[in-house]
Amino acid sequence: MVRYIIRRLLWVIVLLVLVSLITFLIFYTFPSADPAQLRAGRQPNPELVKQIRHNLGLDQPWYDQYYHYMNRLVLHADFGYSYQNNISVGHQIFDRLPATISLTVGAAVVWIFSGVAVGIVSAVRRRSLLDRLSMGAALIAISAPVYWLGLVVLYLFSSDIGKFKVPFLHGAGSYVPLSQDPSAWFQALLLPWFVLAAAFAALYARLLRANLIEVMSEDYIRTARAKGLRERRVILRHGLRSAITPIVTLAGLDIGILLGGAILTESVFNIPGIGRLAFDSIQNSDLPMIQGTVLLGAFFIIIANLVVDIIYAFLDPRVRYS
């Protein structure tokens, strides 16, 4: 297991280098706008644009630019400086990372527990009224776009503009850091958590229901029942352990992706996270900031895959790594 983890960590380095190279080539080869012109303002002097390009190193060949970027990143953990406002990319990313982590972790807790609970109940009480209602609600939640659902709940329930104002459900732009005010932090994230978790919980519930129904017809489940085990133990200890493996895969990937930035949710609720930073950077053709956010997202996704593979070894005794 240890050698497997070390080997995967070495591949993390290789994959991050490839991701950085591909991202660099895409934005260098197909630029949407000239960063020097954007920084120079409207109707800039051509000499000023030329000077800015030289100061930013944009007049060098792409391979020289990439070499200098990776040299600073590897040796000094320096992501460079923003083309737009000359702010340190690393400082900006790690300043916004706690907001994205707060949003992702809270939403993950909501969707995993609710999705697994609904999936188990629907599988055990298949074709009952409760099963039909929960699966119907899940279908609606999957079909509802995040940005639309976010705007709807803000319009209905937020404490500032909502039609049915709920005092502890703060609206958009009310996020405060956990270290500053835990109570306000929690109230500001309640709506984003449930909005972001809605589609994921519905998907997990439907997937777990289908898997658990199939698993409960297996021979080893009938053997467990024949041994006189309680039905609850058969479902949770034997059935769920086998049926939940695809859920673990999805959860690892989804959490990794969202840690790289939940763009729509952060935009709707005006949360200053990584997703909002990436969106603004793309609009401004800010290559260093885009490069930093992409690398961070790739890192989280790769690490999430590694964690999922390790969890498999504990969930499924048939999985062994050498």
User: In the structure encoding, which two tokens stand for residue 109, read together?
Assistant: 């807790």
Any idea of the CA torsion for 196, 198, 204, 209, to the nearest 10 degrees? 170
CB-facing half-sphere around the CA of 50: CA atoms within 13 A: 3
Reference 256, options 300, 218, 217; nearest CA is 300
- pLDDT, residue 83, reads 76
Q: Each residue of 13-59: pLDDT tens digit?
A: 888 888 888 888 877 766 556 677 767 767 777 777 788 778 777 77
pLDDT in tens, 76-94: 788 888 877 778 888 888 8
pLDDT at 23: 80
One-letter amino acid for residue 130 of the chain: L
Q: How far is the C-alpha of 187 from the C-alpha of 170, rounded, in Å?
A: 6
Q: Does the pLDDT at position 321 exceed 60?
A: no
State the pLDDT at residue 101: 92
What confidence tens digit (pLDDT) does each residue in 125-175 have? 888 888 889 888 888 888 888 888 888 988 888 888 888 888 888 888 788
pLDDT-based confidence at residue 108 (cuts at 50, 70, 90): very high
| pLDDT for residue 236 | 83
pLDDT confidence bin for 10, thresholds 50/70/90:
confident
Whether 315 shows a pLDDT value over 70: the answer reads no
Q: Which CATH class is domain 97-315?
A: mainly alpha
Question: Model pTM?
Answer: 0.81
Residue 99, judged by CB atoms within 10 A of its CB (0-12, 13-18, 19+), counts as: buried
Cβ(100)–Cβ(91) below 8 Å: no
Amino acid at 22: I
Give the C-alpha separation, 242 to 244, whole Å.
6
Tokens of 211: 């898997």
Q: Which residue spans of the chain are classified as CATH 1.10.3720.10?
A: 97-315
Q: State what percent of residues in the chain have pLDDT above 90.
A: 8
